[in-house]
Amino acid sequence: MNQKYLPLIATILIFIVSYAMCALQYPNMLSTRVIGNLLTDNAFLGIAAVGMTFVILSGGIDLSIGSVIAFTGIFLAVMLETTSIHPLLAFVLALLITTAFGAIMGAIIHYLEMPAFIVTLAGMFLARGMAFVLSIDSIPVRHEFYGTLKSFYYKLPGGGRITLIGGLMLLVFAVGIIIAQRTRFGTNVYALGGGPQTAALMGVPVARTTILIYALSGFLAGLSGIVYSLYTSAGYSLATVGVELDAIAAVVIGGTLLTGGAGFVGGTLIGVLIQGLIQTYITFDGSLSSWWTKILIGALLFAFILMQKGILFVSRRGRSYA
Amino acid sequence: MMQSNDEILSATAIVKRFPGAIALDHVNFSLRRGEVHALLGENGAGKSTLIKCMTGAYRRDEGSLRLDGVEIDPRDPLDAQSLGIGTVYQEVNLLGNLSVAENLFLGRQPRRFGLVNTREMNRQARALLANYGMDINVSRSLDSYSVAVQQVVAIARAVDLSGKVLILDEPTASLDAQEVEMLFRIVRGLKAKGLGVVFITHFLEQVYALSDRITVLRNGQFIGTRETASLPRKDLVTMMLGHELADAEKELRAHQPDSGNVRFEFNGYGKAGKIKPFDLSVRKGEVVGIAGLLGSGRTETAQLLFGVDKPDSGTATVAGKTVSLNSPRAAINEGFGFCPEDRKIEGIIGDLSIRENIALALQARRGWARPLSRSEQIALADRYIKALDIRTTDREKPIKLLSGGNQQKAILARWLATNPQFLILDEPTRGIDVGAHAEIIRLIEDLCAQGMSLLVISSELEELVAYSSRILVLRDREHVAELTGGAITTQNIVNAIAASGSEKAVQ
Amino acid sequence: MIESAQRLAWRLAPQLIALIIILILCRLVFPGFYSIEFQNGRLYGSLIDVLNRGAPVALLAVGMTVVIATKGIDLSVGAVMAICGAVAASSSVRGDPLVLTLILTLGVGLICGVWNGFLVSVLNIQPIVATLVLMVAGRGIAQLITEGAILTFNDPGLIFIGSGSFIALPMPVVTWLLFGIAVAVLLRLTALGLLIEAVGINRRASTLSGIRTPVLLMAAYMLSGLCAAIAGIIVAADIKGADANNAGLWLELDAILAVVVGGTSLLGGRFSIIASLIGAMIIQAINTGILLSGFPPEFNLIIKAAIIVIILVIQSPKVQGVMTFLTVKSARKRDVEQTAQ
């Protein structure tokens, strides 16, 4: 069997087994309502995590996404409150800004040869700061278009709903999988993660790919911000603090190597769902405390890092005797 | 003589200068259509610099490069590739995390409706590899295959992309005999198709098994190009190591083998895959030389003795006491010192000053709690800067700013400061200028006279002959001969290295 | 002595100049910035406030400097602060004597450091990945200890550490000054500083020179854990309670920033703890200055981002490369001239 699928299979198994265990204890968790909510509640995280997957696959990291989501939310709220432009136009503007923001970070990382960690840390401060400058208050969005958008959903048998934003997340994952697996850009992302010097020697356009990767992450963080804005019907500059950490955790639990070069966008979806499942279980249980989420996710992270270290070790040894 | 239109690639009077050194000094190289041309020389001879000038990784300073009779000037390896010159490196320069097919078609994957047509790409990849007699699952990641398969994939990619000249840079270094044979079949097939193949290796058997002509470089100089069939092995080794075979120059050495007691003894010492078990004993005040071609196990021997690699067989005895040398630290505690071959990666701490670099090993041995005071460090540094004549404007200058020879002396000083009993020097005179060269040799003789035991690895045979009281000859990761007393001549070393000869071809 | 003082001054010059410029700007936007009063046996004033508020980041920066010097990074310090604050509070609430509380808390900080150090030096996991585990799980562990509530305590001894004063200075100021200087002096009086720098610049060559690299790496992460523990105690003592959710939140980023502003390269090697401490004060002076200026605090983060970008561009390998190239060239030229003579 192909070794590169091992972490992905482990993730899927963990998800299925834990879902089954949850369902045994609380049969209600099998209802389409719970499944629909799982998608809706984690939509913004999932969309941002797709961008993070590309960044991590390429061997980088993007700490700015939580701030960019908050910035997008407050930007939309302020625009819709103080001007009379249509939300759709505001969406386009927000996406333009966040995409350009990501592209600039990518350009700095590539051309100034600075670590992605620090550049996106600066980006994180900058985006959060811009959000503060727009407003420090929580601003509700009352535009009727938001109501219209929220009224779109696909009714599942059993009373569950796939909402517009839940569906959008699934669509983003689908597109993300196609980009990663079926485009030259996608292969180039993996190539960068495998080794930037080698990739350059083999003719990968490193500068363009790096900038595109961070632009994509910025775009998806913006889209995630729009979804979050729809989800909460408000903009608040202190929202979504630390989402980048949840996204990184989802990516790693989804089976992607944190050092880049190996992993799958689809795995990230499972990573997001595992996090959502833990939270849902804790809500169902009622007596368990929310902090177990963090501890469990930390433990899962550790397990996956160890597992990947182990796979690397075994495959190196296996190859030397091959 | 061949007609000139048979020539596919020709390099004439190539000069490449690096700050403070001439890496290539008017080197000529010509490759014919349908020939395998071996490019030989020891480390630092200029092989890889010449390759890099031909593939555009470096820009040459002088000379002309012609491909199919047309003057070319590749900007970078990609440019050279599109002109028709493909290269396969020793460490496979492909991406292990991508699939075999993706590696073959990176950047030119077949597409349908804008998306990569994976099925078509895999089909083409299978077809391409079938030409090389290889039938593997091309959708698996490259690193799930052995190095030999990876080499073939690399060759297939290079030939598919360039198709005129194929440069193989030590492709067989980590392959076993069968894999080498497979690779040779493939290379012969390409030769039959009219490609020109440049083949770099340090296995002489393979040179004779595969190549039509041989070009030898030494110290950046062009030594000569010969027909393989008419070049005896001994003459080849002589060309590479630069000895004139006139034994008259051999002088009586001051330090004849000391009859005194053996201080360091290794019995059946070895490590699987690195170096076969060997016996070695070193007396007080003795220089033991190690000779052998690159890849013969010279550096592996040194690393094993110094505890960089842990031995899996044999015992080590220091002054009659059995010791375990499982780490450099353990070896240092027994009075060992080691100047590694790769100064930049294993020797210098680039950003630290010369003073700190000199004091480092002594400081590490004393432990963190007993620091050398600044004035002690200064005294130490100044003493060795003077004693070894390390040329620098300032002892506080980062060591990375010194020239190679002076860095080497500083590393030597680092060990001398620990007052070692046994010093291992791996290619102490490589890549440094003639002046510093002579000084280091004088130093080795002085240290020996003071009673220190030395083990010196060098590809400069005259040097070894001049200062060694015994010489071990290595071949194919095995200690194959030991020369003592009057038997120590460059001629005998060359004979021992070349001995494997015809009776033991490609296994 | 004079020579080494000169060298120190030369090394610290950029940070000191930056600090002075920022203090002058603070004075311009807030006229009362330099006034210091003496009341109830301690000093009050904006400058004292900067020293006091900057204590947690200054303490974290001490450990972070050493970790970064080994070519590592410790993302977990904020979470470790929360854990240690929780441990201190729960121990105090349980009625443990102050000494036991402190020993327990510092011990837990050291254990966190051992965990990180184990992952980095024994399992050879990349530092940024290794310390991420504790960064994610740590806050959960802290909440587990406090059981989700803000655990308040009233041990006057413990509270004194956060809000008491000693020789007219607030305790946190005394703590970070003494601790920071003690570590800096320890590293420079012993050979630790040199060995850490050697490992950070070239781990392989250091091991070949006989340095026990794994032990040194472990010690660096343990120091970082200890610093986080002290910072955690101070933050908890200041609010007389442990807030597992917010204690030390994002302070790891401020600490890394302080180190970077202090001129220690993220690529490891040469370090200066004093410079990192000044870096921490620069960051705090900016925070306090913006707060006092009446300038909306919203701009705080933007200014911070701008400062990182400026410092990073100066430190970027590209820019550095150009500078080294020039130095090497002139050095070579000198060498050539000398040999010619």
Residue range A31-85, pLDDT digits in tens: 888 889 899 999 999 999 999 999 999 999 999 999 999 999 999 999 998 988 8
Residue C114 to residue C111: CA distance in whole angstroms = 5
Say how far residue B265 (Cα) sits from the centre of its chain: 27
In this prediction the ipTM stands at: 0.85
Q: Mean pLDDT score of chain C, rounded to an integer? A: 85
Which of B141, B153, B167, B182 is the best residue to mutate to test the A interface, defined by the most A CB atoms within 10 Å of its own CB?
B141
Q: How many domains does chain C have?
A: 1
Specify the amino acid at residue C104.
L
Say how far residue C294 (Cα) sits from the centre of its chain: 28
Q: Show residues of chain B in contact with A180, CB under 8 Å.
A: none
Of the partner residues A4, A183, A187, the one whose CB lies closest to the CB of residue B106: A187
Q: Which residue of A has its CA nearest to B148?
A: A322
Is pLDDT of B258 > 60? no
pLDDT confidence tier of residue A171, bands split at 50, 70 and 90 = very high
- Taking alpha carbons only, the member of B249, B258, B224 closest to residue B238 is B224
Mean pLDDT (whole number) for B440-444: 81
A236 touches chain B (CB under 8 A): no
**Both structure tokens of C334:** 């000198």
Say how far residue B449 (Cα) sits from the centre of its chain: 30
Angstroms from C57 CA to nearest CA on chain B: 28
| pLDDT at residue B507, rounded to an integer | 30
Q: Which of A237-251, B44-58, B108-122, C264-278 has the least mean pLDDT?
A: B44-58
Which of C11, C208, C264 is the best residue to mutate to test the B interface, defined by the most B CB atoms within 10 Å of its own CB?
C208
Chains A, C: CB contacts within 8 A come to: 127
Angstroms from B402 CA to nearest CA on chain A: 26
Q: Which residue of A has its CA nearest to B143?
A: A319
- Taking alpha carbons only, the member of B84, B82, B89, B123 closest to residue B104 is B123
Per-residue pLDDT reduced to its tens digit, B373-389: 889 999 999 988 888 88
Q: Which residue of C has its CA nearest to A252?
A: C129
pLDDT confidence tier of residue A321, bands split at 50, 70 and 90 = very low
Is pLDDT of B309 > 90? no
Is pLDDT of C210 > 80? yes
C309 part of a folded domain: no
DSSP structural state of residue A149: H
| Secondary structure E strands in A127-205 | 139-140, 153-155, 161-163
Contact: C209, B360; criterion CB under 8 Å: yes
Per-residue pLDDT reduced to its tens digit, A126-135: 999 899 889 8
Q: Which residue has the higher pLDDT, A239 or A192?
A: A192
| pLDDT at residue A265, rounded to an integer | 95
Residue A303 to residue B207: CA distance in whole angstroms = 50
Please tell me the number of Cα atoms within 13 Å of A11 on its side-chain side: 32
pLDDT confidence tier of residue A231, bands split at 50, 70 and 90 = very high
A204 touches chain B (CB under 8 A): yes
C249 part of a folded domain: yes
CB contact residues (below 8 A), chain A span 120-179, against chain B: 178
C24 part of a folded domain: yes
Per-residue pLDDT reduced to its tens digit, A92-116: 999 999 999 999 999 999 988 888 8
Specify the amino acid at residue A42.
N
Q: Which of A23-32, A57-66, C210-219 has the least mean pLDDT?
A: A23-32
Residue C302 to residue A118: CA distance in whole angstroms = 15
Three-state secondary-structure class, residue B223:
strand
Is pLDDT of B287 > 50? yes
Q: Give the residues across from B283 on adjacent strands.
A: B262
Q: Which residue has the higher pLDDT, B60 or A102?
A: A102
Mean pLDDT (whole number) for B398-415: 85
List of residues 6+ apart from C237 with CB closer than 8 A: C88, C158, C159, C160, C161, C162, C163
A190 touches chain B (CB under 8 A): yes
Per-residue pLDDT reduced to its tens digit, C243-252: 888 888 888 8
Chains A, B: CB contacts within 8 A come to: 73
Angstroms from C247 CA to nearest CA on chain A: 14
- Taking alpha carbons only, the member of A190, A184, A173 closest to residue A256 is A190
User: Which element (helix H / strand E) includes B358?
Assistant: helix B354-366
CB C171 within 8 A of CB C165: yes
C312 part of a folded domain: no
pLDDT confidence tier of residue B500, bands split at 50, 70 and 90 = low
pLDDT confidence tier of residue A279, bands split at 50, 70 and 90 = confident
A180 touches chain B (CB under 8 A): no
Residue C236 to residue C244: CA distance in whole angstroms = 10
| pLDDT at residue C154, rounded to an integer | 84
Q: Which residue of C has its CA nearest to A122?
A: C305
| pLDDT at residue A2, rounded to an integer | 65
Q: Show residues of chain B in contact with C263, CB under 8 Å.
A: none
CB B142 within 8 A of CB B103: yes
Residue C333 to residue C341: CA distance in whole angstroms = 12
Of the partner residues B98, B111, B146, the one whose CB lies closest to the CB of residue A319: B146
Residue B4 to residue C282: CA distance in whole angstroms = 72
Per-position DSSP letters for B158-220, written without gaps between them: HHHHT-SEEEEESTTTT--HHHHHHHHHHHHHHHHTT-EEEEE-S-HHHHHHH-SEEEEEETT
C313 touches chain B (CB under 8 A): no
Contact: B141, A3; criterion CB under 8 Å: yes
Domain range for C36: 14-297
C31 part of a folded domain: yes
C320 touches chain B (CB under 8 A): no
Q: Which residue of B has its CA nearest to C188?
A: B371
CATH of the domain at C113: 1.10.3470
Q: Which of A266-280, A296-310, C202-216 has the least mean pLDDT?
A: A296-310
Q: Show residues of chain A in contact with C304, CB under 8 Å.
A: 125, 129
C291 part of a folded domain: yes
pLDDT confidence tier of residue B250, bands split at 50, 70 and 90 = very low
Neighbours of A31 (CB within 10 A): 16
C-alpha separations of B317 from A197, B263, B302, B394, B425 in Å: 45, 8, 16, 41, 20
Contact: A129, C133; criterion CB under 8 Å: no
Contact: A190, B93; criterion CB under 8 Å: no
Q: How far apart are the first and last CA of chain A?
A: 16
Domains, chain B, with CATH or none:
4-97+141-231 (3.40.50.300), 247-335+420-504 (3.40.50.300), 353-419 (no CATH)
Angstroms from A79 CA to nearest CA on chain C: 18
Contact: C302, A126; criterion CB under 8 Å: yes
Per-residue pLDDT reduced to its tens digit, C89-146: 999 888 888 899 999 999 999 999 999 999 999 888 888 888 988 988 898 899 889 8
- Taking alpha carbons only, the member of B94, B105, B98, B97 closest to residue B128 is B105
Residue C296 to residue A131: CA distance in whole angstroms = 13
Specify the amino acid at residue C79.
A
CB A289 within 8 A of CB C143: yes
C-alpha separations of C122 from A300, A307, B130, C213 in Å: 20, 16, 45, 10
Angstroms from B414 CA to nearest CA on chain C: 9
C-alpha separations of B398 from B392, B395, B403, B466, C101 in Å: 10, 8, 11, 34, 47
| pLDDT at residue A216, rounded to an integer | 97
Q: Which residue of B has its CA nearest to A259?
A: B97
Q: Show residues of chain C in contact with B369, CB under 8 Å.
A: 190-191
DSSP structural state of residue B373: P
Of the partner residues C191, C201, C335, the one whose CB lies closest to the CB of residue B352: C201
pLDDT confidence tier of residue B177, bands split at 50, 70 and 90 = confident
Contact: A191, B141; criterion CB under 8 Å: no
Of the partner residues C299, C300, C318, the one whose CB lies closest to the CB of residue A112: C318
pLDDT confidence tier of residue B243, bands split at 50, 70 and 90 = low
- Read off φ and ψ for residue C41, nearest 5 degrees: 80, 10
C197 touches chain B (CB under 8 A): yes
Domains, chain A, with CATH or none:
3-321 (1.10.3470)
CB B155 within 8 A of CB B88: yes
pLDDT confidence tier of residue B502, bands split at 50, 70 and 90 = very low
List of residues 6+ apart from C11 with CB closer than 8 A: C263, C272, C275
Three-state secondary-structure class, residue B281:
strand
pLDDT confidence tier of residue C337, bands split at 50, 70 and 90 = very low
pLDDT confidence tier of residue B435, bands split at 50, 70 and 90 = low
List of residues 6+ apart from C111 with CB closer than 8 A: C225
Contact: B329, C212; criterion CB under 8 Å: yes
A305 touches chain C (CB under 8 A): yes
Is pLDDT of C341 > 50? no
Please tell me the number of Cα atoms within 13 Å of B165 on its side-chain side: 26
Q: Show residues of chain B in contact with A195, CB under 8 Å.
A: 95
| pLDDT at residue C336, rounded to an integer | 44
Angstroms from A69 CA to nearest CA on chain C: 16
Is pLDDT of A319 > 60? no
Specify the amino acid at residue B334.
E
Q: Show residues of chain A in contact with C310, CB under 8 Å.
A: none
CB A311 within 8 A of CB A7: yes
Residue C228 to residue C251: CA distance in whole angstroms = 10
Q: Which residue of C has its CA nearest to A297?
A: C137
Q: Mean pLDDT score of chain A, rounded to an integer? A: 88
C5 part of a folded domain: no
Mean pLDDT (whole number) for C209-229: 94
| pLDDT at residue A148, rounded to an integer | 85
Is pLDDT of C334 > 80? no
Of the partner residues B102, B116, B144, the one whose CB lies closest to the CB of residue A3: B144
Residue B305 to residue B289: CA distance in whole angstroms = 14
Hey, which chains touch C, using 3+ CB pairs under 8 Å? Answer: A, B
Residue B37 to residue B225: CA distance in whole angstroms = 9
C212 touches chain B (CB under 8 A): yes
List of residues 6+ apart from C47 with CB closer than 8 A: C33, C34, C36
DSSP structural state of residue B369: T
Is pLDDT of C331 > 60? no
Q: Which residue has the higher pLDDT, A254 or B219?
A: A254
Residue B428 to residue B458: CA distance in whole angstroms = 7
Residue C51 to residue B262: CA distance in whole angstroms = 65
Q: Which residue of A has its CA nearest to B117?
A: A182
Angstroms from C248 CA to nearest CA on chain A: 13
Q: Which residue has the higher pLDDT, C17 or A168?
A: A168
List of residues 6+ apart from B91 with CB closer than 8 A: none
| Secondary structure E strands in B91-140 | 111-112, 115-116
